[in-house]
């Protein structure tokens, strides 16, 4: 019997999870879900995270050691960071255009605003503290943070991905610089073989994907509904226009900007791109984490989209950490939405400040669930919008996080495909019409 394609397996898990979640939320199965369903989702995420550090390390060393010379690395690096910045600025601009045209904050009722601010006081405080911790550092801090002082310490925490990238790059470069290459050939072979093993492990973890996704979605639905599903639904309705504005911005990125970029810059058919990447996009939706999705994104880009290991191993881990188009688009919409609710009119200079801070904030956001809303505090601060306004959007943050993570992952894969094409590293480049 032919095996069901991975994206169908995940879609089935996703829908069953949604249906289970709806039934559970309305039948008071909160405790059962927390005890017996949620753990399977956690196990799945843990397996994905477990593989992320070894995958990035081994794959990047393997990729760099296969380079013709080091100049290829600098050309790839410059291109990657340049395109990442351009797509992020485009995402913020699209978000700003959408929110200024639709004006979702204008019709928001004053009563609900006050109620929400009161209800979420504690949450706002903790978000503020986390944002302040990020902010209180000098301009060069991000470079300082990139260089590990203890490799094993970096490898023990998934949040230090840039440090792992730094170590792997140096190791790979040193590997090609050794004058007597016969001495390091065994090491190159080792990493080549280890890379295959790790990719196989990703395949094995994916056998568990339908169950993991089912558990994640079921649990999210129950948590979103809380103890009073009807009240939760009312809040969602109140935020419908805002949510739709964010979704519109995200949709423009996925349905227009990326396909055009792929066509124009890589002569790549979006149909093939979408078909190859779909499982990673669905996983991004289910986990709300680009970091947890990274192993699958890398595997799909290499094995289905034809991006070489050299390019994928460098561009994708970097993208998961610094390129978040969905997050930056959402931050722009959210900042202006909150300003609108508070009756503030943001002028051109404030909107440009949002472009700058949302771009930087998305670079600084961790690739984990809910990171975007913490960095949003910094965007709000930069244009003088009251931070307590964040209370208005907490209720819909998780579903929007799921959607923006899809865009974050799609953006990374798009750039990887473009860089691979321009570097002559796109294997079996399709000429599908
Ligand atoms: N969850 C997002 C990601 O992992 C970040 C965010 O916007 O909160 O890409």
Please give the full DSSP string across 90-159, using - where no structure is assigned.
HHHHHHHHHHHHH-TTTT--HHHHHHHHHHTHHHHHHHHHHHHHHHSS-TTHHHHHHS-S-HHHHHT-GG
**Protein residue with its CA nearest to atom 7 in ligand 1:** 372
Question: In angstroms, what CA-CA distances link 138 with 134, 328, 376, 377?
Answer: 10, 22, 19, 18
- The answer to whether the CB of 369 is under 6 A from ligand 1 is yes
- Give dist(CA 55, CA 39) in Å, integer: 24
Q: Evaluate: CB of 408 within 6 angstroms of ligand 1.
A: yes
Q: What is the pLDDT of residues 7-52, one digit of tens each?
A: 999 999 999 999 999 999 889 899 999 999 999 999 999 999 999 8
Cα–Cα distances (Å) from 215 to 20, 47, 81, 203, in that order, read 9, 14, 36, 19
Backbone angles phi, psi at 426, to 5 degrees: -95, 110
pLDDT > 90? residue 4: no
Average pLDDT for 190-212: 94
Supply the pLDDT for residue 107: 76
Contact 407, 285 (CB under 8 A): no
Q: Evaluate: CB of 370 within 6 angstroms of ligand 1.
A: yes
For ligand 1, whether the C-beta of 297 sits within 6 Å is: no
Average pLDDT over residues 112-131: 76
Q: Has residue 187 got a pLDDT over 60?
A: yes
Q: What is the pLDDT of residues 220-243, one digit of tens each?
A: 989 888 777 777 777 777 789 999
Nearest atom within ligand 1 for CA of residue 320: 9
Task: Give me the long-range contacts of 264-267 (CB less than 8 A, separation at least 24).
Answer: 265/418, 265/421, 265/422, 266/417, 266/418, 266/420, 266/421, 266/422, 266/426, 267/421, 267/429, 267/431
Decide: 188 and 23 in contact? Cβ < 8 Å: no
pLDDT over threshold 50, residue 431: no
- Model confidence at 391, pLDDT cuts 50, 70, 90, reads confident
What band does 125 get if pLDDT is binned at 50, 70 and 90?
confident
Asked if residue 373 lies in contact with residue 425, where contact means CB atoms within 8 angstroms, the answer is no
* H or E element, residue 351: helix 348-364
CA of 79 to the centre of ligand 1 (A): 23
Domains and CATH numbers, the chain: 6-422 (1.10.3860.10)
pLDDT at site 146: 87
Q: Which atom of ligand 1 lies nearest, measured to the CA of 288?
A: 1
Q: Tell me, rounded to whole angstroms, the distance of Cα 157 from its chain centroid.
A: 18
Pocket-testing residue among 295, 319, 367, ligand 1, by greatest number of atoms within 8 A of Cβ? 367
Tokens 């949003």 sit on residue: 376
Which strand (E) or helix (H) includes residue 421?
A: helix 394-422
**pLDDT at residue number 2:** 66
Q: Compute and round to an integer the Cα radius of gyration of the chain.
A: 22
Band of pLDDT at residue 433, cut at 50, 70 and 90: very low
Q: Predicted confidence band at 110 (pLDDT cuts at 50, 70, 90)?
A: confident
Q: Ligand 1 in contact with 404 (CB < 6 A)?
A: yes
Task: State the closest ligand 1 atom to the C-alpha of 371, by its place in the atom list counted from 1.
Answer: 8
pLDDT value, residue 137: 67
The finding on whether 93 has its CB within 6 A of some atom of ligand 1 is no
Give residues with Cβ within 8 angstroms of 269, minimum separation 6.
262, 263, 430, 432, 433
**If you search the block for the tokens 């925490």, which residue do you land on?**
157
Q: Which of 88, 158, 289, 363 to mutate to test the pocket of ligand 1 (most atoms within 8 A of CB)?
A: 289
Ligand 1 lined by 372 (C-beta under 6 Å):
yes
Mean pLDDT of 92-99: 96
């Amino acid at each position: 019997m032919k095996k069901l394609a991975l994206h169908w397996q995940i879609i089935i898990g996703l829908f069953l999870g949604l249906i289970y979640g709806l039934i559970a939320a309305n039948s008071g199965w909160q405790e059962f879900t927390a005890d017996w369903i949620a753990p399977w989702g956690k196990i799945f995420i843990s397996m994905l995270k477990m593989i992320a550090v070894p995958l990035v390390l081994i794959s990047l060393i393997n990729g760099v050691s296969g380079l013709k010379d080091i100049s290829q690395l600098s050309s790839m690096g410059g291109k990657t960071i340049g395109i990442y910045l351009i797509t992020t600025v485009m995402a913020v601009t699209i978000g700003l255009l959408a929110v200024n045209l639709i004006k979702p904050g204008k019709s928001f009722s004053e009563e609900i605003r006050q109620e929400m601010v009161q209800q979420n006081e504690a949450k706002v405080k903790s978000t503020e503290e986390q944002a302040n911790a990020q902010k209180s550092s000098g301009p060069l801090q991000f470079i300082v943070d990139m260089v590990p002082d203890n490799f094993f310490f970096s490898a023990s925490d998934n949040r230090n991905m840039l440090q792992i990238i730094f170590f792997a790059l140096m190791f790979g470069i040193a590997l090609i610089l050794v004058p007597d290459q016969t001495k390091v050939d065994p090491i190159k072979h080792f990493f080549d073989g280890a890379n295959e093993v790790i990719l196989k492990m990703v395949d094995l973890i994916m056998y568990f994907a339908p169950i993991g996704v089912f558990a994640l979605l079921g649990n999210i639905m129950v948590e979103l509904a809380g103890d009073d599903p009807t009240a939760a639904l009312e809040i969602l309705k109140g935020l419908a226009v805002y949510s739709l504005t964010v979704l519109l911005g995200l949709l423009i990125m996925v349905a227009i900007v990326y396909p055009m970029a792929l066509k124009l810059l890589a002569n790549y058919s979006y149909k093939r791109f979408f078909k190859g990447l779909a499982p990673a996009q669905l996983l991004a939706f289910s986990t709300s984490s680009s970091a947890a999705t990274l192993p699958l994104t890398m595997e799909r880009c290499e094995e289905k989209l034809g991006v070489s290991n050299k390019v994928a191993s460098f561009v994708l881990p970097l993208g998961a950490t610094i390129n978040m188009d969905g997050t930056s688009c959402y931050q722009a919409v959210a900042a202006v939405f909150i300003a609108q609710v508070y009756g503030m009119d943001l002028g051109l200079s404030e909107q440009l400040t949002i472009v700058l801070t949302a771009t930087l904030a998305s670079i600084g956001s961790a690739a984990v669930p809910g990171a975007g809303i913490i960095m949003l505090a910094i965007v709000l601060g930069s244009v003088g919008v009251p931070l307590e306004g964040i209370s208005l959007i907490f209720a819909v943050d998780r579903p929007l996080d799921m959607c923006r993570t899809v865009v974050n992952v799609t953006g990374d894969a798009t750039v990887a495909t473009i860089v691979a094409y321009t570097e002559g590293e796109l294997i079996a480049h399709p000429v599908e019409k």
